[in-house]
Chain A
Amino acid sequence: MTSNTLKVLGMTTAMAAAFTGVAQAQTVDMDALIAAAKAEGTLTTIALPHDWCNYGAVIEGFKAKYGLEVNELNPNAGSADELEAIKANKDNTGPQAPDVIDVGLSFGPAAKAEGLIQPYKVSTWDTIPDSAKDAEGYWYGDYYGVLAIAVNKDVITDASPTSFADLKDPKYANMVAIPGDPRTGNSSMMSLYAAGTAMGGKGGAETATAGIAYLKELKTAGNFVDVGGSAQNFAQGTTPIMMDWDYNVLAMRDKLAGNPPMDIVIPSDGVIAGVYVQAISAYAPHPNAAKLWMEYLYSDEGQLGWLSGYCHPIRFNDMVARGVIPADLMAKLPPAEAYEKAIFPTLDEQSAAKAVVAETWATEMGAN
């Protein structure tokens, strides 16, 4: 391009930006950002297991592309851990302080309220759906998945169950499990919420109550196994029907490599999607590396990296419309029709559901 064309483009973009008001998608000066990030040299991440949304490949891609080091803290951290890590490291600029976090949807506003994160809008900001980002740019959705059911075909040799209602069948005695405690883990909470939606709940507290009732019914019938579903318990046979995010069970299927063979079912009666959000720590020791990381994640390359881990990147619809998703990658995902009915619980619905679970889970499920 000639420099004149560049100038014209630059001016029109600037004018467009001036007119779009709230969503000020200023063009990011990538070269300056890259230089500043390289000067900082490292990025510190937290809670990014390599097998979750193929973060392993995403991190490697980032390192290879920009030559930065990546310090990976505690891959097992929960969303609350990540906020706690920022708080504990407020005055610490050593390698223990996380630069960027990846947390559940409800933790975005919580982090903003506690002043733990700083705003930043990536260059592809406009293509992120409004419902999945903070208007001021403090947090922004990164990927989503839907609640699926994994079935161990060594244990369940005939047709797999296809819905939550199916799981009530007595032939599944001592087989159904959720990943852990709904009061601790997001995926367990959403399993409960999806079951509640399947049982007719219309959202928020009502769905949570329906979900708890459903699990209680399974427990009384003897179908529910109290052990947390994990790859190990699944393969060993103690939790042969396991609920979890679709990207987790798809990654598990790859890792187990047919030992045991498994089916992945998106339940027909309740499809719940969960969004995770990215944010930059307000006390990040390497803010420019953090911003470059965000640019990478929200570029087509980063988003496809997540897709290879079976997570639906937040710009999925935009990328499909532009036709940039390779066909073989699309083929590995479950059929798109299953996702059409996906419901995205809002922040309010989630907090109402959590309140119900906190109150009634222990008494209903006899944990005491």
Chain B
Amino acid sequence: MKKTFPVGAVLTALFAASFFIVPLIATFYFSLKMTRGELGFAAYASVFNSAAFLNTIVYSTVASLIAILIGAVIIVPTAYWVRLKVPKLRPIVEFISLLPLIVPPVVLVFGYIRLFGSNSWLPLTSSTFGTDLLLVIGYVVLSMPYMFRAVDNGMAAIDIATLTEAAESLGASRLRTIVTVIFPNVRAAIISGAFLTFSISLGEFVLASLLNRPAFGPYLVQLGQDRAYEPAALAIMSFGFTWGCMVLMQLFATKKPGQRWLPRFAQRTTP
């Protein structure tokens, strides 16, 4: 391939980057204006001073990570199976995976309370652990469309039929095939899905609020009531925090044994 300077690619990347960053700059600039007449971090100080900030963000981070695990464990084998063994079910599975985008979350949570309330056949809401579990499951459901589509695309890109054949001809059981052959090959796709799950779950409001759990979403809304500058500061902070978590996830998940922690800047080819 000819190695010319990728003008088109650079311009596209720059244009996209500015489309993303300029609105954030505008929000950041507004958040600095809390003290009249000067630019300062008063809005941020006001947010940090509220005790609930650290508690809720830790709670939500943990809940989101668990949701990623559960989501991956349910979706990856299903996507694999549906592609390989039961393609007739694929339209149904795809349709189901899209439903959470259409069902309003408030309907979902009221359904949970009816189905799993304290007088029902599985009283999850009677205990704190049960309600936490219900919340995490809710997150898995909400992120299902993204997780499924990402993993499905990842599987389309690799030849799972041949991989499966090869693994089975070497004597691997189905479970071992999934865990040691399929999972690592779709790891990048799972990471995409994981990112989306994380960012959805961290700021999610309706489920956490109506199930009465101390998550970050309700805290964000509570602090944003009637205030002008703190919500902008919070938006920037939660954006930065989520991005930081994703960078960490990316580093941990794609590091191969013996690989450097930071990429070499001179590298020009994709790994």
Contact = CB atoms under 8 A, between A and B. Distances in A.
A76 B36 contact: no
Nearest to B34: A259
A232 B113 CA distance: 34
Nearest to B30: A236
B118 A94 contact: yes
Nearest to B126: A94
Interface residues of A, number: 35
Interface residues of B, number: 33
Contacts of B211: 96
Contacts of A89: 113, 117
Interface stretch (A212-220, A249-257, A290-298, A312-320): A249-257
A231 interface: yes
Interface stretch (A80-88, A186-194, A327-335, A357-365): A80-88
Interface stretch (A1-9, A67-75, A135-143, A341-349): A67-75
B173 interface: no
Nearest to A44: B212
Contacts of B210: 73-74, 85, 96
A76 B209 contact: yes
B103 to A, nearest CB: 15
A255 B227 contact: yes
A92 interface: yes
A74 B110 contact: no
A50 B117 CA distance: 28
Interface stretch (B57-65, B75-83, B228-236, B245-253): B228-236
Contacts of A81: 106
Interface centre among A75, A88, A93, by most chain B C-beta atoms within 10 angstroms, is A88
B228 A232 contact: yes
Contact of B232 (A71, A75, A232, A255): A232
A167 B206 CA distance: 37
B228 A92 contact: no
Interface stretch (B6-14, B91-99, B193-201, B218-226): B218-226
B225 to A, nearest CB: 5
Contacts of A71: 212
Contacts of A228: none
A92 B120 CA distance: 8
Contacts of B227: 231-232, 255
Given A251-B226, A255-B226, A256-B228, A91 B119 contact: yes
Interface of B: 30, 33-36, 106, 110, 113-114, 117-120, 123, 125-126, 131, 205, 209-212, 218, 221-222, 224-229, 231-232
